[in-house]
């Protein structure tokens, strides 16, 4: 695999303000053997116009999908490169990323998935900072203590075949959880201390939507119970602990009162009840602290 084809795909809707920077960051890579697939939803801004201006430099897909999750997984399955990566409209690929990842795969032919570092561009607090990755650990991932960022992750096509990417019906709500669970079982994953992309953090993102993140927490809890992973009780307790910390961060980013949100959100009250059950008293105290 000396000069493999790399497919970078994106799923976008109403991404007029950022999609051009994202695509240009891919096309401007010094690695030649690459292609860009972009699945565009029904946008109400100028996203489609921008994408059409690229002509045959990209593959512009316009399939109707029921939700962003369906669009993501169907586009993922359509990628034909020997190496595959995802870069969303609010992300920027860093210079030399593709050359670096191909070099790393060539150094160790047994490696099938590579993860790395990113920069975080926080539009909420107007700051830019490095976010370091780490060697993949299933327990840390399942408890939400740490998650590899997809824009800094590169998959060999053979790895995706091993986990039946094309054949499996992925759960759109927790598809990323399923993905890493099966990759960990069947593939060699390697962390590389290299900054592959920049990720934008804003209030409008799904990861900053409290109710949606609580739904993900609930589904993740059920996934863990169904799989019956080792040390299940401690794993569930840790998932509750790290999730509640993240929910407090989301509430703070929206400048809301945690107690008021607790009163209004039935789902959040369920998370707090779980925390009491798991005796996560420390994180409960920090959650309600007025800071």
Residue 235 is assigned to a structural domain of this protein: yes
Residue 164 is assigned to a structural domain of this protein: yes
Residue 253 is assigned to a structural domain of this protein: yes
DSSP codes joined into one string, 180-217: HHHHHHHS-EEEEEEEEEEEEE-TTSGGG-HHHHHHHH
pLDDT at 204: 66
Alpha-carbon distance 149 to 250, whole Å? Answer: 18
- The highest-confidence range among 99-103, 129-133, 137-141, by mean pLDDT, is 99-103
Is the same domain home to 154 and 239?
no
**Is 0.85 surpassed by the pTM of this model?**
yes
What CATH number is attached to the domain comprising 38? 3.90.550.10
Is the same domain home to 116 and 235?
no
Q: How many domains does the chain have?
A: 2
More confident residue, 255 or 194: 194
pLDDT at 41: 79
pLDDT at 165: 95
pLDDT at 63: 76
Is the same domain home to 99 and 10?
yes
Q: Which structure tokens are listed for 184?
A: 């960990």
- Structural domain boundaries, residue 242: 206-288
Is the same domain home to 118 and 131?
yes
pLDDT at 230: 67
Q: Tell me the mean pLDDT in the region 211-220.
A: 92
Residue 197 is assigned to a structural domain of this protein: yes
Q: Are 154 and 194 in contact (CB under 8 A)?
A: no
For tokens 């949100």, the residue is 261
pLDDT at 155: 98
Residue that is last in its domain, among 201, 218, 233: 201
Q: Does position 291 have pLDDT exceeding 80, yes or no? A: no
H or E stretch at 149: none
Q: Does position 254 have pLDDT exceeding 90, yes or no? A: no
Of the candidates 241, 249, 227, the residue with the CA atom closest to the CA atom of residue 277? 241
Q: Which structure tokens are listed for 255?
A: 């400048």
Residue 15 to residues 21, 26, 66, 69, Cα–Cα distance (Å): 10, 16, 18, 16
Is the same domain home to 143 and 112?
yes
End-to-end CA distance of the chain: 53
pLDDT at 134: 95
Is the same domain home to 57 and 76?
yes
Is the same domain home to 213 and 250?
yes
Q: Does position 121 have pLDDT exceeding 90, yes or no? A: no
Of 27-36, 102-111, 191-200, 230-239, which range is least confident? 230-239
Is the same domain home to 157 and 235?
no
pLDDT at 119: 92
Residue that is last in its domain, among 178, 201, 224: 201
pLDDT tier, 201 (very low <50, low <70, confident <90, very high otherwise):
confident
Is the same domain home to 122 and 263?
no
Is the same domain home to 194 and 229?
no
Residue 1 is assigned to a structural domain of this protein: no
Phi, psi of 111 (to 5 degrees): -70, 135
Is the same domain home to 196 and 274?
no
């Amino acid at each position: 695999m000396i000069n493999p084809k790399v497919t970078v795909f994106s799923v976008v809707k109403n991404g007029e303000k950022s999609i051009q920077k994202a695509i240009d960051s891919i096309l401007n890579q010094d690695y030649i053997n690459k292609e860009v697939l972009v699945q565009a939803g029904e946008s109400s801004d100028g996203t489609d116009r921008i994408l059409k201006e690229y002509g045959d430099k990209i593959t512009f897909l316009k399939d109707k999908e029921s939700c962003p999750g369906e669009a993501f997984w169907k586009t993922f399955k359509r990628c034909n490169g020997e190496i595959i990566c995802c870069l969303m409209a609010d992300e920027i690929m860093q210079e030399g990323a593709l050359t670096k990842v191909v070099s790393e795969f060539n150094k160790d032919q047994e490696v099938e998935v590579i993860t790395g570092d990113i920069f975080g561009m926080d539009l909420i607090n107007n700051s830019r900072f490095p976010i370091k990755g780490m060697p993949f650990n299933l327990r840390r991932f399942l408890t939400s203590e740490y998650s590899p960022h997809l824009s800094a992750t590169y998959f060999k096509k053979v790895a995706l075949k091993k986990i039946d990417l094309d054949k499996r019906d992925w759960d759109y709500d927790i598809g990323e959880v399923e993905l890493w669970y099966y990759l960990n079982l069947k593939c060699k994953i390697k962390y590389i201390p290299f900054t592959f992309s920049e990720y934008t953090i804003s209030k409008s993102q799904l990861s900053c939507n409290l109710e949606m993140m609580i739904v993900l927490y609930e589904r993740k809890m059920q996934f863990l119970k169904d799989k019956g992973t080792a040390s299940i009780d401690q794993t569930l307790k840790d998932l509750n602990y790290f999730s509640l910390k993240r929910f407090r961060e989301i509430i703070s980013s929206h400048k809301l009162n945690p107690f008021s949100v607790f009163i209004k959100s039935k789902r959040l009250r369920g998370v707090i009840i779980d925390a009491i059950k798991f005796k996560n008293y420390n994180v409960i105290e920090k959650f309600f602290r007025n800071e």
